[in-house]
Amino acid sequence: MKVKDLIESRKEVYSIPVDMTVHDAARYLREKGVRAVGICDASGKLVGCVSQSDISDKVAAENKCPGWMRVTEIMSTDLVLTTPETPLDDCLRMMEEHGIFHLLVLDDQSRYRGMISVADLLRVIATDHKDRADMLESYIFPQR
């Protein structure tokens, strides 16, 4: 299974603009039910990523005002990227190597196509293992 198999069914690519405040970004994350989001410039180019932990560690823990700060002040810019053609096993390996929980997806023309999380990968792995166990069970204990 590849990244495209996970993201092609999504109706929306979540992203926020570079001029958004941290407060509005936190509200956006809560509203969309996601833990991280890509940050795009006016031309739509991916320039960074911000996560709940960025907001917690760089704003709340430092007692800074999220209403006055822009996401560009706390966003990660050293991004780990993947493509729609990347196998999911490679994605999990990349996350482990870099100690991250999200990968940003760019297509072959460098357009931002969304993000996959470790939770997305674990759901696929768990489903695959359950399917294999069910198949093995039906083989060992056939229905009569």
Q: Is 108 helix (H, G, I), strand (E, B) or coil?
A: coil
Q: How many CB atoms lie within 10 A of CB 122?
A: 11
Q: What's the pLDDT score for residue 105?
A: 97
From the candidate CATH numbers 3.30.70.270, 3.10.580.10, 3.40.50.12160, 3.60.150.10, the one assigned to the domain spanning 3-117:
3.10.580.10
Sequence ranges of the domains in the chain: 3-117
Show pLDDT as tens, one digit a residue, over the chain (144 residues): 899 999 998 889 999 999 999 999 999 999 999 999 999 999 999 999 999 999 999 999 999 999 999 999 999 999 999 999 999 999 999 999 999 999 999 999 999 999 999 999 988 877 765 666 666 666 666 776
For the CA atoms of 33, 35, 39, 44, what is the dihedral angle to 10 degrees? -50
What pTM value is reported for the model? 0.83
CA distance 34 to 60: 19
